[in-house]
């Protein structure tokens, strides 16, 4: 008899989401890396992502915040976004990972979202810019962190009990609410600090 319980179903949609989010994040990081290389090769180069005084990436790339570890931040993204792509593809291929693997994957995303949150604060409150490619990375990192975390909780990968797993299984379809709140927090901060909406309209 075929076992069709929730625990034994492969999360196809979840896997596809990881692949798509990883690909989008990777291309954003890759494009930003190319832009950084262009500015190093040609100091007079005007980055294609410099759309207006507010929406631009030139200031971010030239700042200390743009190379926290001594090399351009997007290089981290080029390397890191490979992980969700591989995990997603592996799930589609039928792979099943041990709890320790999911915990490690979640820990990596936690580190990523903390770093992204810090970069968001620096971009809005210190540099006063909204980097287009950076915002693409923010857009995929927020849902990846929340969905993977709630997925792990509902699957019991953190060693949580059956009762809590059932609770998080019911919460999981509504994870988009957490994602939306994350997006709204960025929009509110950008509007209050930079009057982003008015500025974007004026330069559009």
Residue 108, pLDDT above cutoff 60 = yes
Element containing residue 69 per DSSP (H, E): none
Cβ neighbour number for residue 146 with a 10 Å cutoff: 19
Structure tokens given for 39: 């500015």
The C-alpha atoms of residue 123 and residue 92 are separated, in whole angstroms, by 37
Mean of pLDDT values over 146-160: 96
State the pLDDT at residue 8.
53
Rounded to two decimals, the pTM is 0.92
204, pLDDT greater than 70: no
> How does residue 166 score in pLDDT terms, banded at 50, 70 and 90?
very high
**Domains of the chain, earliest start first:** 6-202 (1.20.1440.130)
Give the other-Cβ count within 10 Å of 130's Cβ.
24
Give the pLDDT of residue 189.
96
Decide if pLDDT at 6 tops 70. no
Positive or negative, the Cα torsion across 158, 161, 164, 170? positive
CB 90 within 8 A of CB 18: no
How far is it, in rounded angstroms, from Cα 160 to Cα 153? Answer: 7
């Amino acid at each position: 008899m075929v076992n069709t319980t929730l625990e034994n179903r492969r999360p196809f949609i979840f896997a596809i989401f990881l692949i798509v989010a990883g690909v989008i994040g990777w291309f954003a990081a890759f494009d930003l890396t190319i832009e950084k290389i262009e500015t190093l090769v040609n100091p007079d180069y005007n980055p294609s992502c410099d759309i207006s005084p507010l929406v631009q990436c030139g200031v971010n790339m030239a700042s200390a915040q743009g190379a926290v570890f001594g090399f351009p931040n997007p290089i981290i993204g080029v390397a890191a976004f490979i992980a969700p792509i591989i995990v997603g593809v592996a799930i589609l291929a039928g792979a099943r990972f041990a709890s320790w693997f999911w915990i490690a994957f979640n820990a990596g995303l936690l580190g990523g979202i903390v770093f992204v949150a810090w970069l968001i604060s620096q971009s809005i409150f210190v540099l006063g810019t909204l980097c287009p490619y950076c915002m693409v990375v923010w857009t995929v990192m927020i849902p990846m962190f929340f969905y993977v975390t709630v997925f792990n909780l509902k699957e019991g990968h953190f060693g949580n009990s059956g009762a809590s797993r059932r609770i998080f299984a019911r919460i999981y379809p509504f994870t988009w609410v957490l994602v939306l709140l994350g997006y709204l927090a960025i929009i509110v901060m950008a509007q209050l600090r930079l009057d982003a909406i008015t500025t974007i309209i004026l330069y559009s």
